[in-house]
């Protein structure tokens, strides 16, 4: 699936136009669209894009929030600023559908925990 909005195959899946194109400096897989020649990393289009923190730390933090932990408590436990954790929560809200798939399939998080996370995201949005 090409992630370049100006590409004629943007969002199309299974066309074979996306090929592996080496690794980035951290060892993450890079891809290239043979149609538009644009390159992108494996994290592009996810909540992990342009994040320096390991995926497991972000997932663990979001899971804790979903279980009802306070933002400040999670930030202290992870050694991060509360604003950082808050940004992760906001970005997770924007990527809700993809995150739910990852949590259900890869991390054995239940529906009630995900529901708790989205309730928290919704309440934070109403306070602004």
Let me know whether 95 and 122 are in one domain.
yes
Which pLDDT value is given to residue 100? 64
**Average pLDDT for residues 74-91, to the nearest whole number?**
92
Measured from the Cβ of residue 80, the count of other Cβ atoms closer than 10 Å reads 18
Let me know whether 20 and 63 are in one domain.
no
Range of the domain at 106: 55-127
Let me know whether 35 and 10 are in one domain.
yes
Let me know whether 67 and 94 are in one domain.
yes
Sign of the C-alpha dihedral, residues 99, 105, 107, 111?
Answer: positive
Which pLDDT value is given to residue 76? 94
Which range of 10-19, 51-60, 95-104, 116-125 scores highest in mean pLDDT? It is 51-60
- pLDDT bracket for residue 101 (50, 70, 90): low
Let me know whether 38 and 61 are in one domain.
no
Let me know whether 30 and 71 are in one domain.
no
């Amino acid at each position: 699936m090409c992630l370049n909005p100006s590409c004629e195959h943007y969002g199309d899946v299974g066309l074979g136009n996306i090929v592996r194109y080496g690794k980035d400096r951290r060892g993450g897989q890079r891809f290239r669209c043979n149609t538009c020649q644009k390159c992108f990393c494996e994290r592009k289009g996810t909540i992990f894009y342009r994040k320096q923190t390991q995926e497991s730390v972000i997932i663990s933090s979001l899971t804790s929030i979903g279980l009802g932990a306070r933002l400040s408590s999670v930030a202290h436990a992870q050694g991060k600023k509360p604003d950082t954790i808050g940004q992760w929560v906001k970005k997770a809200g924007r990527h809700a559908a993809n995150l739910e798939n990852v949590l259900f399939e890869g991390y054995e998080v239940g529906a009630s925990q995900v529901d708790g996370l989205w309730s928290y995201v919704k309440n934070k949005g109403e306070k602004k």
